[in-house]
Structure 1
Amino acid sequence: MKESVRPEHADDTRTALSGASLRRAFLDHVFHTQGKLPGHASQNDLYQAAAHTVRDRLVQRWISTAEAYLGQPSRTVAYLSAEFLMGPHLGNNLINLGIFDEVREAMAAAGLDLDRILEQEVEPGLGNGGLGRLAACFMDSLATLEIPALGYGIRYEYGIFQQTIIDGMQVESTDTWLRNGNPWEIQRSEWAVQVRLGGHTEHYTDDRGHYRVRWVPAKTVVGVPFDSPILGYRVNTVNTLRLWRADATEAFDFHTFNRGDYLGAVSKKVTSENLTKVLYPNDETSQGKELRLEQQYFFVACSLQDMLRLLAVDGIPVTRFHEKFAVQLNDTHPAVGIAELMRLLVDDHDLPWNEAWHITQNAFAYTNHTLLPEALEQWPLPLFARVLPRHLEIILEINARLLDEVRIRFYGDESRLARLSLISEYGEKQVRMANLACVGSHAINGVAELHSRLMREDVLKDFYEMWPEKFTSITNGVTPRRWLALSNPRLTRLVSEAIGDGWISDLAQLRALEPYAEDAGFREQWQAARHQNKVALAELVRETTGVVVDPSSMFDVMVKRIHEYKRQHLAVLHVIALYHRIKSDPGTEIQPRTFLFGGKAAPGYAYAKLMIRFITSVADVVNRDPQVRDRLKVVFLPNFNVTYGQRIYPAADLAEQISLAGKEASGTGNMKFAMNGALNIGTMDGANIELREAVGNDNFFPFGLTAPEVYGLRASGYDPAAYYHSNPQLRAVIDLVQQGFFSRGDPGLFRPLFDPQQRHDPYLLMADFASYIECQEKVSQAFAEPARWQRMSVLSCARSGRFSSDRAIREYCERIWHIEPVPVRLLHRASGAPWQVESPAHAPRAA
């Protein structure tokens, strides 16, 4: 056993956390890592030096964590996600280490501004929205709760596109997030794996008389892991985010080059690297579909091989895979991993089918993130056979055994057989990935109470009736470290002065703020902090868009992925209604508002891109009209991402969560807004229901049809034209749009967004319009009473504790993964001595 060392005798000055040590280390990295004298260093040099200074301190904890996990009987979470939208690392790591103020002081002592240095970090755009942001929050919470975990994904060379607005339209450009390097990652070439694609299978009998299958691939690529440390808050635990890059088995063909075929010499390299070039390549073409499928298989194949390697390191047989790893599927993108693990166990490790299936089912769990049938992934059978011939054989065998079980359980129910089948027989045959995920997992969860209920009653009803014991509900959450402690320092300081800072790792402690809602002095400080946030956002808006907005106006915010079901266009109809009211009666009383929109539309999603053009066109008219300029402003903030989110959430007064009831799985923006003191207006959809219950009916603005009412209205024959004709205000608003008022006289430009006369209204804007407008009037009345609004704002924050991702992860650990925390003791060294582990009695929980 290693000799323990007391920390007071084990100070490794290289990784000490004192201000003096941090300043020395920073200047050392400017000189030795960046190769610059401090006076000649660029802002990027300073950022890189700061990042390496912090990373040194993470690495000590990272290695300590790996040492603690080695040989541990505890399971490890393997979180498989096609997206990890981590956001900038430096500020978050400073918060979690507990040295944000020390580093600010150290930078100031060197004549530097920490805020300017933080602004230099290029955000890794490795996600599209909520899915990737949730994965990032979960990684933060897993480390904070000291849960052994590995996040597995793809190291996209180019992330989600950069969005600019030109002539009111979204224009995409390449996201070169790696242009200055990534100081947080370490390449682990020694753990590279090979991944096969295409080809054919050969069936044979081995020398023991066993039936076997050999996969003969058409090509092979190499998966190279890049590891980033994920630090928990004020603990020694640093888990790993392992992202895979695709390389060629042979990057350069020397003989082909010498023959003069210069392109041919690197063709394998180019083809292989295309796998991890871009996040979500456009799948409108057959080539795009094939690349997406290859991407998804590539990262799960790499990850499962890596897990088997880790088993071997620990000396654990493959038959205990499910005892060591809890593999969580973040939506259906990694679902092909079920077939891949079966292939590895049956083909490579020669396990009997039933034993391999037992291991697979007990290892995997599936989180469903959608109620939209079109979002449940399906792959054309010929495509799947071409890319993954062996996996299709395995899926067909799984399906045959499943349908045999269904025939016995539900005798004579042929329609149920068709619905449960892993192969869709409607039109072109498709492989149903959600069905595969349900069959191959021991647990299936929704991400909000309503979503989970509708999942059981509708989207996955047949699977629920087959295996009700598999289903559970775990409402999403967000990390308070990034979304309050880091992004809102003014409010953080005020809250911590009032109730202490324990809430940062136990968000339920925010409840202690409730009495302060009745304290006029505290409310005044609260309002002052939030107003400063609004001033800062107003300056960002001016710098980014040129639009000048009034921080004293209500900041009415809708920032999220642009999608028809999220109904950004309903919010714009409200803008037009207010505009029409002012134009019709210039003396009318209207609470001044700044409407702030943000979000990206998928490059191939024409409807969503038209929605952006609609927002910007209305903004152009409203912002140019001197009659309304002081009362209404409309802004579309381009390139919304985590970095912008950290500025927007703390400054919002009102947050729009207005999806059609029954369509949003959860939503996490509502939680971030509430945590920062914004009030939410929303339908009874997703987590809005639980948020309203938590903050109280008086501190949430509900409107619109409920999910049962939506189903009932559709069943009775929904006619949007009836709402259009019966509501004069709605008719006036729609007519303005269709007459071309906001499109320079072009009456047809925005017709695809809403055309009630043609009964086109799939997300029931017309039905919810009146309720929405009425609710917005209540919002204006509340905002006109500052003391009332401030009280509501304090309570919104105070009662948001249940929406921490820490709570969600605890529920996953208890209900699905069955994992206990593994505390990490910090490795130290003294005076150049070998690394040693300190005794448990002196293991610090605070950095």
Structure 2
Amino acid sequence: MNKSERFEAIETFKNAYIQKIEEVSGECFSEASLFNQYEALAEIIMEKNGSLWAKTSKQYDEIPHKRVYLFSIEFLIGRLLKAFINSLEIEDIVKTAISELGLDYETILNKEADPGLGNGGLGRLMACFLESSATLGLPFHGNGIHYQHGLFEQKIINGEQVEVADNWLRHGYPFEIRKPNESVIVKFYGDIHYDKIDGVLTFFYENYEPILAVPYDIPIKGYHNKTVNSLRLWSAEPVEDFDLPSFNQGQFMDAVRHKSEAEAITQILYPNDNKFDGKLLRLKQEYFFVSAGLQRIITRYKRYNNKCLDEFSNKICIHINDTHPALCGPEMMRILMDDEGLSWMDAWRITVNSLTFTNHTVLPEALEKWPVDMLKLLLPRIYMIIEEINRQFLDKLRIKYGLNESEIAALAIIQDEQINMANLAVVCSHSVNGVAALHSKILREETFRGYYQIFPERFNSVTNGVTPRRFLINSNTGLRDLIDASIGTEWQSDLFALEELMKYAEDASFMEKYDQIKLTNKIHLADYIKKHNPVTVNPNSIFDIQVKRIHEYKRQLLNALHILDLYNHLKENPQMEIVPHTFIFAGKAAPGYYFAKEIIRLINAIADLVNNDASIKDQIKVVFLANFNVTLGEIIYPAANISEQISTAGKEASGTGNMKFMMNGAITLGTMDGANIEIHEAVGDENIVTFGLSSDEVASFEKSGGYRSFEVFENNARIQKIMQQLIDGTFGNFSHFQSIYDSLLLYNDSYFVLKDFDSYANAQRHINDLYQCPDQWFRMSLSNVAYSGLFSSDRAILDYQKNIWKTL
């Protein structure tokens, strides 16, 4: 674009923007609020997306492709306005126009709420997959839940996590379109009876509770192309809003009861399922979006395929993201048999050939199970189908594979009056994959060993990936511009091209620019910390960061105990010098997860102790940032020096935070777990810092015993001291951490925190030494950026496309 064209584009945008502000506000431009400025900009961008969206849909209909529908309980998409502007290639025009109008571009962008549609890596992965699919021009769409309040907004009060409603829809959401004409009915409870009609066994569903599922569609724009795919989110509403007869009879609460009960289904993500009502609500959620999504997909398919379902599995793939959508199998069977009149054999063939399943965990507590009585009550027809799937599968194991009864029992979908959803998903799908090499190995050899022996052809592995557009190109603009100036822009569409950066590994001028960009990003994060936490941190210190869901296996506890140990060393050795360190944590604990909340409380107690002790001369600082979300992540990842990936080996499926940190030049400090293994292979032993037990060693201890945490305690004076500090009043008379103390000693340290402590502390000392060698540290950091191509979600999507979904 030449100067004249650019000037004209800026003036055109300014005029359109002024007009739009006045339309949305009913005020003259100078009187409009900041939120009106945001609304107007969002509407303009949504209009530009809208025409491309319609054209993409028309193109898919005219040139049939195999479509993939990703079913997931989470889609953590983050803010979209800036991403849309960048993907439309108009950022320069928009920023300049807004500046010339006397407004602040970044302030306007910050009025957008983070959509409360996910919690962590599971949801963020799906968002990355959707963005990559659109960028690659592939017809892949999302199907999930339109949560009114998301998970929760996390506040830290007196060092403790407090959950408040995440009212992200308070002011509406400009990037969604409600489509009531595509609503469907989802049925709960009721009675089933059957009869033979013309020799065919026919099922009838009566006295059920109908819930209206209303779709909201969000555009997913491809980067620098014209593809716009869809994320469809389902909202639960009553079939009839208001019971007028009850109201007129004075039964005011009854008049709105059904509305409240219906809307509760899509109020929040992950209702607390410690009690029966919470479990029931979560099961309702899972069936609700599965049923609604499949009904519309099958209806739409019939419209464009002459109502013939024979080719359904050749043209449609339903991808189950973890076990939450595992009811896709029996629900497809129900629709195909009860609504479409197919035989069991034909329905089963289509179902299995259409479904693929990604398992995200090996933790037993995360492999969902539902009580038979609950599922039978809530979903009577679905339970009948699951029971028959199980019966036929077990017969097949006896007759075709000759398994004995104990082997058969271990593979049953229904066990001990519970329905194992992972087993159901494996049986109903033609592909099952893990999300990293180690994770996939554990699935084959342990978690699903029996299934792998029967169906080896079903098992695949695809290492996760993250979108570089969100986590580098748009959030680390300084590094993006330096890379563009150094090696060109090809890397933005092919991340493997970043390997060309290694030719600058000995370039002093490049190193100076690179280090300055990192410092600028650290100053940005330091400013955020100062605004939101009562602590000032040194941007020249090592920013050592662990941000992820708070869970015992992720071992924030190991990190915290090491900080306490380091503090003790500084107190005991006042002349000891270390590179100043800022330890940064962020992440949410599930509302019902007491122990995880205690870890948050401990981190904040340590922060209070350390940050207020002038005697250690600010050599270490500790920060817990509340309410971690995508937007905060976009500030954190570019600023990190150290990426803490310290899960107990064999417990983390893959991780995706490790990839976001890596492509921003952070050095991974981690166990050989999940995708850390692939990161190690990509960057080489000299560009990563590893420690701790291997997954085989962990498995051996768990299987055969031999680990006694008390023995570690007895033989390590440093550990004795920090353990004593948990209960001796170090953090104040009323700040004991007896439950943490007991878990590590009385209950034998299930996640090997004490076993790995010395190895972790040694790794931290190694980092301290490395950071004092600027040239070496720069080469390590640059290597991580340069070899991050493998961890692009573009590569992951192409792997799925080629090996699992087979869309071409």
TM-score of the aligned structures, taking structure 1 as reference length: 0.93
C-alpha root-mean-square deviation of aligned residues, in Å?
A: 1.5
2:368 is the alignment partner of 1:377: yes
* C-alpha separation in 2, matches of 1:81 and 1:411: 36
Of the three residues 694, 700, 709, the one matched with 1:712 is 700
1:79 maps to which residue?
70
Q: How many residues are aligned here?
A: 801
Query: Alpha-carbon deviation of 1:728?
Result: 2.2
2:239 maps to which residue?
249
- 1:84–1:126 CA contact under 8 A, matched in 2: yes
2:413 is the alignment partner of 1:422: yes
* C-alpha separation in 2, matches of 1:73 and 1:430: 41
Say which is worse superposed, 303-312 or 633-642, in terms of deviation.
Answer: 303-312
SS in 1 for 2:291: helix
2:313 is the alignment partner of 1:322: yes
SS in 1 for 2:96: helix
- 1:169–1:613 CA contact under 8 A, matched in 2: yes
Mark the CA change 1:466 to 1:46 in structure 2 (over 3 Å): closer, same or farther. Answer: same
Pairs within 5 Å for 1:353-502:
353-425=344-416, 429-502=417-490
2:753 is the alignment partner of 1:765: yes
SS in 2 for 1:74: coil
1:512-552 C-alpha deviation (Å, 9 max, x unpaired) = 11111211110110000110000010000000012100000
2:41 maps to which residue?
50
SS in 2 for 1:494: helix
SS in 1 for 2:730: coil
SS in 1 for 2:517: helix
2:279 is the alignment partner of 1:289: yes
* C-alpha separation in 2, matches of 1:161 and 1:758: 33
* C-alpha separation in 2, matches of 1:319 and 1:373: 38
- 1:79–1:150 CA contact under 8 A, matched in 2: yes
- 1:623–1:629 CA contact under 8 A, matched in 2: no
Mark the CA change 1:442 to 1:747 in structure 2 (over 3 Å): closer, same or farther. Answer: same
Pairs within 5 Å for 1:497-512:
497-512=485-500
Pairs within 5 Å for 1:26-425:
26-206=17-197, 208-316=198-306, 317-425=308-416
- 1:610–1:750 CA contact under 8 A, matched in 2: no
* C-alpha separation in 2, matches of 1:535 and 1:665: 33
Structure 1, unaligned runs of 5 or more: 1-12, 821-847
* C-alpha separation in 2, matches of 1:457 and 1:556: 35
1:44-64 C-alpha deviation (Å, 9 max, x unpaired) = 111111111111110111011
* C-alpha separation in 2, matches of 1:229 and 1:407: 48
* C-alpha separation in 2, matches of 1:755 and 1:268: 44
* C-alpha separation in 2, matches of 1:311 and 1:701: 51
Query: Alpha-carbon deviation of 1:305?
Result: 0.8
Structure 2, unaligned runs of 5 or more: none
Query: Alpha-carbon deviation of 1:412?
Result: 5.0
Query: Alpha-carbon deviation of 1:736?
Result: 2.2
1:145-197 C-alpha deviation (Å, 9 max, x unpaired) = 11112210000011120011111100000000001110000111110111110
* C-alpha separation in 1, matches of 2:234 and 2:701: 47
SS in 1 for 2:213: strand
* C-alpha separation in 2, matches of 1:450 and 1:747: 39
* C-alpha separation in 2, matches of 1:793 and 1:629: 28
The residue identity in structure 2 corresponding to 1:558 is: Q
2:510 maps to which residue?
522
SS in 2 for 1:156: coil
* C-alpha separation in 1, matches of 2:753 and 2:165: 34
1:609-667 C-alpha deviation (Å, 9 max, x unpaired) = 00100000000000110012420100000001101000000001101000000000000
1:189-248 C-alpha deviation (Å, 9 max, x unpaired) = 110111110112101111x12111112242001110001110001111000111010111
- 1:622–1:629 CA contact under 8 A, matched in 2: no
SS in 2 for 1:318: coil
- 1:95–1:481 CA contact under 8 A, matched in 2: no
Mark the CA change 1:587 to 1:149 in structure 2 (over 3 Å): closer, same or farther. Answer: same
Mark the CA change 1:98 to 1:585 in structure 2 (over 3 Å): closer, same or farther. Answer: same
- 2:53–2:219 CA contact under 8 A, matched in 1: yes
The residue identity in structure 1 corresponding to 2:91 is: F
- 1:739–1:747 CA contact under 8 A, matched in 2: no
2:685 maps to which residue?
697
Query: Alpha-carbon deviation of 1:410?
Result: 4.2
The residue identity in structure 1 corresponding to 2:713 is: Y
Query: Alpha-carbon deviation of 1:756?
Result: 4.4
The residue identity in structure 1 corresponding to 2:255 is: A
* C-alpha separation in 1, matches of 2:12 and 2:301: 39
1:428-462 C-alpha deviation (Å, 9 max, x unpaired) = x1011101100000000000000000011111111
Of the three residues 760, 771, 778, the one matched with 2:766 is 778
* C-alpha separation in 1, matches of 2:404 and 2:459: 23
Of the three residues 578, 590, 602, the one matched with 1:602 is 590
SS in 1 for 2:722: helix
Mark the CA change 1:328 to 1:217 in structure 2 (over 3 Å): closer, same or farther. Answer: farther
Query: Alpha-carbon deviation of 1:311?
Result: 1.1
2:790 is the alignment partner of 1:802: yes
- 2:397–2:403 CA contact under 8 A, matched in 1: no
1:834 maps to which residue?
none
* C-alpha separation in 1, matches of 2:562 and 2:740: 18
SS in 1 for 2:615: coil
1:76-133 C-alpha deviation (Å, 9 max, x unpaired) = 0111010010000001111211222221111111111110011110110111111100
The residue identity in structure 2 corresponding to 1:48 is: E
2:728 is the alignment partner of 1:739: yes
Say which is worse superposed, 501-510 or 389-398, in terms of deviation.
Answer: 501-510
TM-score of the aligned structures, taking structure 2 as reference length: 0.97
1:379-407 C-alpha deviation (Å, 9 max, x unpaired) = 00000001100011101111111001111
Mark the CA change 1:402 to 1:746 in structure 2 (over 3 Å): closer, same or farther. Answer: same
1:546 maps to which residue?
534
1:723 maps to which residue?
712
Mark the CA change 1:747 to 1:52 in structure 2 (over 3 Å): closer, same or farther. Answer: closer
Mark the CA change 1:17 to 1:233 in structure 2 (over 3 Å): closer, same or farther. Answer: farther
State the percentage of identical aligned residues.
44
The residue identity in structure 1 corresponding to 2:199 is: G
The residue identity in structure 2 corresponding to 1:736 is: Q
1:791 maps to which residue?
779
1:786-842 C-alpha deviation (Å, 9 max, x unpaired) = 22211211111011111000000000100111113xxxxxxxxxxxxxxxxxxxxxx
SS in 2 for 1:283: coil
Please list every run of at least 4 consecutive aligned residues from structure 1 whose deviation after the TM superposition is greater than 4 angstroms: 753-756
SS in 2 for 1:328: strand
- 1:656–1:680 CA contact under 8 A, matched in 2: yes
- 1:197–1:217 CA contact under 8 A, matched in 2: no
* Greater RCO (CA < 8 Å, at least 6 residues apart): 1
Say which is worse superposed, 196-205 or 715-724, in terms of deviation.
Answer: 715-724
